[in-house]
């Protein structure tokens, strides 16, 4: 055998075989990776495109949709009646006297059909139909969850992108200022200590910019991961980071909770549990087996009909354990539905109040704090150029200006996050029907 291997190495056939196998293996792995790796958009990315990518490539959604198809098959199966049973029996053979051998044997050919009683088939269909509604409700709940998560991730990228751009502006201003201070120090118009402060400010701005860039990379990866990508290939996200308008009435939102995907799913679970309970109540009633056939008498060659009815006697097993279990499950689903309603109401009130606070905060920042910080920085910078104020005063006023700008971004991000949370609680459709629109 070793000689065969050596011969194969000498004439190259073994090497060619190994190389072909390697090529096939690498090609197969490439196809597998291509299937696992979801495509990633390039260029600019808006919220609608991100939502489409997630809906198209999210495996959890595909799995939930497959369960809906499975539920349809369950309905078809539940509608079917039990199959009849064919019975062939041979009696009175292999004995003694007249029944020696098989000539005098009696042969019976019969069909037995089980007749389901107490409407079991209808109840079984109801259980399967309730299961289909439950599976479809899970698809809608998951779709709403994915939309909300995509909205949240997109807003985080948009806010991180704004903070990074703001950090770049701060670095540019600090760099230009450090160059100007260095020229003034060279001309003897400014003490060297101010150049040290300017260089320190520039280094701190650069550190903050790099930190903001890292936050942006992380946010981009989190967004891309929602559609199954392992890297963010898009250049930037596009959108307006404004606080959405608050709904006109919290009471209207609370009324819409009963139609939210989560509550619809809970209602479907309650209906499924009730259908299972009704089926359990019917299952203790015995089914009837009806038999009809023909019998051939071997001794006389005569034919006769055979008929019979059989049913089990519910003495030892009356399905009480199953009935108790389904009753408990139905009660548990009802209590879970009630608890979910209270939880959603509480979360909706908190989100609504947080959105109101974010709107009030950003209004105050844009109307009062930001103009005041801009005016203060301009005045301090002008006074420093005249020699009336210190350079540290300029640095303090500029830091405060950039802090206010970041607070505007923070407030807008918070408002969007709360808005997306309310969409998840009451459903996107309900929000659109109430004609909620974003603020200009």
What is the per-residue pLDDT across 302-317, written as a single tens digit (0 to 9) for each?
899 999 999 999 888 8
In the prediction, which pLDDT does 423 show? 86
| Alpha helix stretches (DSSP H) within 226-319 | 250-255, 261-283
With 70 as the cut, is the pLDDT of residue 8 above it?
no
d(CA 142, CA 65): 10
Residue 94 vs residue 361, higher pLDDT: 361
Q: What is the mean pLDDT of residues 170-192?
A: 84
Yes or no: say if 284 and 314 are a contact pair by the CB < 8 Å rule.
yes
In the prediction, which pLDDT does 7 show? 44
In the prediction, which pLDDT does 309 show? 96
Question: What is the pLDDT confidence band of residue 434, given thresholds at 50, 70 and 90?
Answer: low
How much of the chain is helix, strand and coil, in % rounded to 5? 70, 10, 20
What tens digit of pLDDT does each residue of 74-128 get? 999 999 999 999 999 998 887 777 767 777 789 999 999 999 999 999 999 999 9
Pairing of strands 43-45, 234-237: parallel
Residue ranges and CATH numbers for the domains of the chain are 45-81+116-284+319-433 (1.20.1600.10)
In the prediction, which pLDDT does 389 show? 83
Say what angle helices 120-186 and 261-283 make with each other, to 10 degrees.
160
Q: What is the mean pLDDT of residues 399-417?
A: 92
What tens digit of pLDDT does each residue of 210-236 get? 999 999 999 999 999 999 888 898 999
In the prediction, which pLDDT does 2 show? 40
Sign of CA dihedral 164, 170, 173, 179: negative
- Which range (9-13, 102-106, 131-135) has the least confidence? 9-13
- Which range (272-276, 289-293, 371-375, 433-437) has the least confidence? 433-437
Secondary structure element (H or E) that encloses residue 291, with its range: strand 288-297
In the prediction, which pLDDT does 4 show? 47
With 80 as the cut, is the pLDDT of residue 410 above it?
yes
Yes or no: say if 290 and 112 are a contact pair by the CB < 8 Å rule.
yes
Q: Please, which residues have CB within 8 angstroms of residue 207's CB and are 6 or more apart in sequence?
A: none
In the prediction, which pLDDT does 246 show? 67
In the prediction, which pLDDT does 321 show? 93
Nearest to 389 by CA among 374, 377, 371: 377
Q: What is the mean pLDDT of residues 392-397?
A: 85
Question: What is the pLDDT confidence band of residue 10, given thresholds at 50, 70 and 90?
Answer: very low
Q: Count of alpha carbons within 13 Å of 312, Cβ hemisphere only?
A: 15
**What count of other Cβ atoms lies within 10 Å of the Cβ of residue 56?**
13
- Which range (10-14, 71-75, 294-298) has the least confidence? 10-14
| Alpha helix stretches (DSSP H) within 37-119 | 47-57, 59-78
In the prediction, which pLDDT does 300 show? 82
């Amino acid at each position: 055998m070793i000689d065969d291997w050596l011969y194969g190495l000498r004439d190259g056939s073994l090497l060619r075989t190994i190389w072909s196998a390697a090529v096939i293996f690498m090609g197969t792995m490439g196809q597998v990776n291509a299937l696992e790796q979801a495509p990633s958009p390039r260029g600019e990315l808006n919220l609608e495109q991100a939502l489409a990518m997630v809906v198209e490539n999210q495996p959890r959604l595909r799995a939930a949709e497959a369960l809906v198809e499975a539920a349809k098959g369950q309905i078809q199966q539940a509608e079917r009646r039990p199959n009849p049973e064919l019975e062939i029996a041979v009696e009175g053979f292999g004995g003694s006297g007249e029944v020696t051998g098989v000539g005098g044997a009696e042969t019976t050919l019969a069909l037995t059909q089980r007749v389901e009683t107490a409407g079991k088939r209808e109840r079984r269909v109801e259980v399967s139909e309730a299961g289909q509604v439950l599976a479809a409700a899970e698809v809608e709940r998951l779709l709403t969850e994915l939309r909300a998560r995509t909205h949240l991730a997109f807003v985080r990228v948009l806010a991180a992108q704004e903070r990074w751009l703001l950090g770049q502006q701060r670095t540019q201003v600090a760099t230009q200022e450090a160059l100007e201070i260095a020229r003034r120090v060279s001309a003897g118009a400014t003490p060297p200590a101010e150049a040290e402060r300017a260089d320190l400010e520039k280094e701190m701005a650069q550190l903050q910019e790099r930190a903001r860039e890292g936050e942006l990379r992380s946010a981009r990866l989190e967004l891309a991961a929602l559609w199954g990508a392992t890297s963010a290939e898009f250049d930037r996200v596009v959108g307006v980071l404004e606080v959405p308008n608050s709904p006109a009435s919290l009471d209207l939102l609370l009324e819409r909770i009963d139609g939210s995907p989560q509550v619809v799913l809970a209602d479907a679970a309650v209906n499924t549990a009730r259908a299972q309970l009704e089926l359990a109540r019917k299952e203790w009633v015995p089914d009837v087996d009806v038999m009809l056939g023909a019998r051939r008498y071997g001794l006389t060659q005569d034919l006769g009909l055979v008929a019979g009815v059989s049913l089990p006697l519910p003495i030892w097993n009356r399905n009480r354990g199953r009935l108790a279990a389904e009753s408990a499950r139905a009660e548990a689903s009802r209590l879970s539905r009630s608890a979910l309603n209270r939880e959603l109401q509480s979360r909706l009130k908190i989100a609504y109040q947080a959105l109101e606070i974010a709107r009030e905060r950003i209004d105050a920042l844009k109307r009062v704090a930001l103009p005041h910080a801009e005016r203060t920085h301009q005045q301090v910078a002008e006074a420093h150029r005249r020699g009336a104020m210190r350079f540290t005063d300029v640095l303090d006023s500029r830091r405060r200006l950039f802090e206010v700008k970041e607070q505007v971004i923070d407030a807008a991000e918070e408002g969007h996050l709360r808005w997306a949370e309310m969409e998840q609680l009451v459903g996107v459709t309900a929000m659109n029907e109430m004609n909620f629109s974003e603020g200009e």
